[in-house]
Amino acid sequence: AQTVTQSQPEMSVQEAETVTLSCTYDTSENNYYLFWYKQPPSRQMILVIRQEAYKQQNATENRFSVNFQKAAKSFSLKISDSQLGDTAMYFCAFMKLTGANSKLTFGKGITLSVRP
């Protein structure tokens, strides 16, 4: 079974600054995907970024980038130039790679507040 750990329950950042959200995971699988999802007050689950475990290059999506350390089983999310709209709950999630889509295992989440 896989576990995903987000040890920081809350973080706060000043608008326009950079913040890093931490995530570690445990698995015996070699092939898997990792994701960061954003859940704003509307409660919609929105995909922020994904990382394939077999790729060494860290994924980047505009202001969002990850630091993927496979050996350390660490997957942190960096948000640059933070915006007020980034205020949300952020979940790190794991999916085993079987060639087909499968269930997501989520961490407990972190509440990010962006201050004006």
Partner 1 sequence: AAGVIQSPRHLIKEKRETATLKCYPIPRHDTVYWYQQGPGQDPQFLISFYEKMQSDKGSIPDRFSAQQFSDYHSELNMSSLELGDSALYFCASSPHRYDNYGYTFGSGTRLTVV
The residues that bridge with 41 in the sheet, in sequence order, are none
102 is a site residue for partner 1 (CB under 8 A): yes
**What is the SS3 assignment for 73?**
coil
Rounded Cα distance between 58 and 70, Å, is 11
Residue 41 or 116 with smaller CB distance to partner 1: 41
Rounded Cα distance between 34 and 48, Å, is 11
CA 10 to chain centre: 14
Smallest distance from the beta carbon of 14 to partner 1, in angstroms?
Answer: 25
Angle at 32 between CA 28 and CA 46, to 5 degrees: 130
Residues in contact with partner 1, counted by CB under 8 A, come to a total of: 23
24 is a site residue for partner 1 (CB under 8 A): no
Find the binding residues for partner 1 in span 36-55 (CB under 8 A).
42-45, 47, 50
75 is a site residue for partner 1 (CB under 8 A): no
Instruction: Tell me which residues touch partner 1 (CB under 8 A).
Output: 33, 35, 42-45, 47, 50, 91, 95, 97-109
